[in-house]
Amino acid sequence: MKRFRLNGNDYDYDPAALFDLTFGEARGLKAGTGLTIADWHQGLTSIHRADPDVLAGIVWVVLRRAGGPVDWADVDAISTVDLLGSVTDVEDPPETIEEPVVDEPEPVTKPVAKRNGKASTKQAAVTA
């Protein structure tokens, strides 16, 4: 996972998930940057080149997925130095395995003994 900070807000994203675009995202990227899906995939695999269209696209997709429409003019106004300086690796939270809650078994009761041919009304607790 990666994280970047914009305007005091942190945005976490999985770089591998950026390859899987909806048609709306793919069309929005093409309209905003001119990148085709093939260009986008190529740019993601060579991110070290820091293509500004790909970087802007990453911001646009992550912000869009975080809550809604994003105007390209807002993305264009972001400082590349501020953005790239804020990118950090984020550790995935450890998986927690919920242990099943085991209730204590209720004691099983049975008649104690027969007296004079009759079962006693007293019960004795027997644990399983």
pLDDT tens, 23-53?
A: 999 999 999 999 999 999 999 988 777 799 9
**Placement of tokens 């994203």 in the chain:** 13
Report yes or no on 23 lying in a domain: yes
Q: What is the 3-state secondary structure (H, E, C) of 25-93?
A: HHHHHHHHHCCCHHHHHHHHHCHHHCCHHHHHHHHHHHHHHHHCCCCHHHHHCCCHHHHHHHCEECCCC
Report yes or no on 73 lying in a domain: yes
Report yes or no on 108 lying in a domain: no
Report yes or no on 95 lying in a domain: no
Q: What is the pLDDT of residues 47-83, one digit of tens each?
A: 777 799 999 999 999 999 999 779 999 999 999 999 9
| pLDDT surpasses 80 at 94 | no
Report yes or no on 39 lying in a domain: yes
Report yes or no on 9 lying in a domain: yes
**Placement of tokens 């027969």 in the chain:** 114
Number of domains in the chain: 1
Q: Are 41 and 22 in contact (CB under 8 A)?
A: no
Report yes or no on 102 lying in a domain: no
In three-state secondary structure terms, 24 is helix
Band (91; pLDDT cuts 50, 70, 90)? confident
Domain range enclosing 79 = 2-89
Q: Which of 79, 73, 128 is nearest to 104 (CA)?
A: 128
Q: Are 75 and 59 in contact (CB under 8 A)?
A: yes
Report yes or no on 68 lying in a domain: yes
Counting Cβ atoms within 10 Å, is residue 56 exposed (0-12), middle (13-18) or buried (19+)?
buried
Neighbours of 46 (CB within 10 A): 11
